Chains A and B, each alone.
Chain A
Amino acid sequence: MGELEQAVLEVLWDLGSANGREVHDRLAGRDLAYTTVMTVLDRLARKDVVVREREGRAFRYSPRRSRAAMTAELMREALDETGADRDQALVSFVGEASEADLAALRRALADLS
Chain B
Amino acid sequence: MLGALAVLLAGPVPWALSRWRELRRTPAASMLLWQSTAAAAVLAALGAGLSLATDRLWQPPVAAYDVAVAAAAGLVTAVVAARLLLSGHLTGTELRRMRRLHRERVDLVASLDQGVSVLEHDVPVAYCVPGMTGSRIVVSRSTLTRLAPPELAAVLEHERSHLRARHDLVLEAFTVLHRAFPLWVASGAARDEVEVLVEVLADRAAVRHVDRRALLSALLALAGSPAPHGALGSAGSLQARVEVLRDERPHPVQAAVVVALAAALLALPTVLVVLPWLTGLR
From A20-28, A30-38, A66-74, the one touching the partner chain is: A66-74
CB-CB under 8 A from B120, the residues of chain A are 67-68, 71
Give 1 or 0 for each of A83-99: 1 = CB within 8 Å of chain B CB.
00111011111111111
A2 to B117, CA, bound (A): 12
Asked if A91 and B105 make an inter-chain contact with CB atoms under 8 angstroms apart, the answer reads: no
Is A49's beta carbon under 8 Å from chain B? yes
Given contacts A86-B233, A93-B155, contact A49 B105 (CB under 8 A): yes
- Number of chain B residues close to chain A: CB under 8 A: 58
> Quick one: closest A residue to B213, CB to CB?
A112
Pick the residue among A68, A92, A96 that contacts B225 (CB under 8 A).
Answer: A96
Given contacts A6-B107, A47-B104, contact A71 B119 (CB under 8 A): yes
Asked if B226 and A112 make an inter-chain contact with CB atoms under 8 angstroms apart, the answer reads: no
Asked if A101 and B126 make an inter-chain contact with CB atoms under 8 angstroms apart, the answer reads: no
For B107, B218, B220, B227, the residue with the greatest tally of chain A CB atoms inside 10 Å of its CB is: B220
Q: What is the CB-to-nearest-CB distance from B141 to chain A, in angstroms, rounded to a whole number?
A: 10
Asked if A105 and B223 make an inter-chain contact with CB atoms under 8 angstroms apart, the answer reads: yes
Give 1 or 0 for each of B216-230: 1 = CB within 8 Å of chain A CB.
111110111111000
Given contacts A81-B234, A87-B95, contact A96 B224 (CB under 8 A): yes
Pick the residue among B108, B123, B235, B238 that contacts A79 (CB under 8 A).
Answer: B123
CB-CB under 8 A from B128, the residues of chain A are 90-91
Q: What is the CB-to-nearest-CB distance from B108 to chain A, in angstroms, rounded to a whole number?
A: 5
Asked if B138 and A78 make an inter-chain contact with CB atoms under 8 angstroms apart, the answer reads: yes
Is B175's beta carbon under 8 Å from chain A? yes
Asked if A105 and B238 make an inter-chain contact with CB atoms under 8 angstroms apart, the answer reads: yes
A40 to B125, CA, bound (A): 30
For B217, B225, B242, the residue with the greatest tally of chain A CB atoms inside 10 Å of its CB is: B242
Asked if A70 and B242 make an inter-chain contact with CB atoms under 8 angstroms apart, the answer reads: no
* Chain B contact residues, majority secondary structure: helix
Asked if B108 and A85 make an inter-chain contact with CB atoms under 8 angstroms apart, the answer reads: no
Q: What is the CB-to-nearest-CB distance from A1 to chain B, in angstroms, rounded to a whole number?
A: 9
CB-CB under 8 A from B223, the residues of chain A are 94-97, 101-102, 105
Is B210's beta carbon under 8 Å from chain A? no
Is B102's beta carbon under 8 Å from chain A? yes
Pick the residue among A74, A78, A90, A91 that contacts B109 (CB under 8 A).
Answer: A74
Is B231's beta carbon under 8 Å from chain A? yes
CB-CB under 8 A from A6, the residues of chain B are 107-109
Asked if A93 and B220 make an inter-chain contact with CB atoms under 8 angstroms apart, the answer reads: no
Given contacts A5-B107, A75-B119, A96-B231, contact A104 B239 (CB under 8 A): yes
Asked if B179 and A87 make an inter-chain contact with CB atoms under 8 angstroms apart, the answer reads: yes
Asked if B126 and A92 make an inter-chain contact with CB atoms under 8 angstroms apart, the answer reads: yes
Given contacts A87-B175, A95-B234, A105-B223, contact A71 B127 (CB under 8 A): no
B binding-site residues for A, Cβ under 8 Å: 91, 94-95, 98-99, 102, 104-109, 119-121, 123, 125-129, 138, 140, 155, 158-159, 162, 168, 171, 175, 179, 195, 198, 212-213, 216-220, 222-227, 231-236, 238-239, 242-243, 245-246
A-B contacts, 24 of them at CB < 8 A, read: A49-B104, A67-B120, A70-B109, A74-B109, A78-B125, A79-B125, A89-B95, A89-B102, A92-B125, A94-B222, A95-B232, A96-B223, A97-B223, A97-B226, A97-B238, A98-B235, A98-B238, A100-B239, A101-B235, A102-B223, A104-B238, A105-B216, A112-B212, A112-B213
